[in-house]
Structure 1
């Protein structure tokens, strides 16, 4: 006889032992991969303050798609407020929340206080989506939402300039990141938002 059936008992035992080791290794690797997967954000555990200094009920974001954006009033990309408001108006009813965090991190282009930022956004762009208080969004001391996004989404979720956009799915995980030059009205952003809205939370 030829083939595997003709192998000696010792050979068969060695093959079986190797298969068992390989199987165990696969289980360990799979478990490690699941353990290392970034945890989703727990919106209800976030203590946030809106731009007017009032507590912001983050639990209202549970199960929603969130577009997190660091904004500035004196940037070449500031007109993107218009596109962000258009997204808010179009998709808010189907589960999207645009959430802005003004920041002076890049180019010193948001030097004003919260009150003046809010007044500018309302008068110049009719912004009605929620805005949080001005904060750092990069490096040490970054706002907790951006610190979480960096851990969860990696490089795509790290702002390099004003109006970086981080899309968080209904399940609380980072879906995509879009650099400053990508317009909120672009097919990339709108397509990603629509796909995220179609995806269930669990």
Structure 2
């Protein structure tokens, strides 16, 4: 199998990533939503699970005691450069944090590859070692992944109804399985706003 090197488009997107972040930070994609009421979920987060792209199952009960950052991802997006930032975050805070990527083709078909190709692309080009789910649907509707149904349904998570608005929307869950924050795609994983919650 040929290594999944970057296409010309992907190289351009990677080069333009700093500009994308600079000019989209003030838009709706840069919003942060907090669980200011400290609302607790009616359905426990740690009862959820996902199938990883290597065929293994990740039972979220294994994540008790750690913070979890759930991110919907794509390989052909202006925000794809966040893969390297997510990896740095995982390496820096690995003792208390687990990043989980959920590749999805829901926004402008920016993730057409299969699971094996996505994993290879992420590892080769961004050094990704955190778990990646099987490619799935993250937006609302029939077929939405149960994890994203939980993240965007206040009847389950206790307060938040914000679905992913684009690739690289980020949801932070604390050690007790409480959803504490939504960070829009234009919020860098290495931003002060995110890192403040991990210290």
Same fold (TM over 0.5): yes
Do 2:140 and 2:163's aligned partners in 1 also have CA atoms closer than 8 Å? no
- TM-score normalised according to structure 2 size: 0.74
Do 1:103 and 1:137's aligned partners in 2 also have CA atoms closer than 8 Å? yes
Q: Deviations over 1:68-99 (max 9, x none)?
A: 00000000000000110000000012x10001
Q: Of residues 161, 164, 170 in structure 2, which corresponds to 1:165?
A: 170
Cα offset, 1:47, TM superposition: 3.5
Q: 1:48 to 1:113 in 2, by over 3 A?
A: same
Cα offset, 1:174, TM superposition: 0.6
Q: Of residues 149, 152, 155 in structure 2, which corresponds to 1:150?
A: 152
Aligned length in residues: 158
Do 2:45 and 2:60's aligned partners in 1 also have CA atoms closer than 8 Å? no
Cα offset, 1:193, TM superposition: 2.4
State how far apart, in whole Å, the 2-side matches of 1:190 and 1:37 are.
22
Q: 1:40 to 1:88 in 2, by over 3 A?
A: farther
State how far apart, in whole Å, the 2-side matches of 1:74 and 1:96 are.
26
RCO comparison, higher one (Cα < 8 Å, 6+): 2
Q: Which residue of 1 aligns with 2:126?
A: 125
- TM-score normalised according to structure 1 size: 0.73
Unaligned runs of 5+ in 1: 1-32, 195-202
Unaligned runs of 5+ in 2: 1-36
* Larger-gyration structure (1/2): 1
State how far apart, in whole Å, the 2-side matches of 1:72 and 1:166 are.
16
Alignment map for 1:66-145 (pairs within 5 Å): 66-93=68-95, 95-140=96-141, 141-145=143-147
Do 1:164 and 1:178's aligned partners in 2 also have CA atoms closer than 8 Å? yes
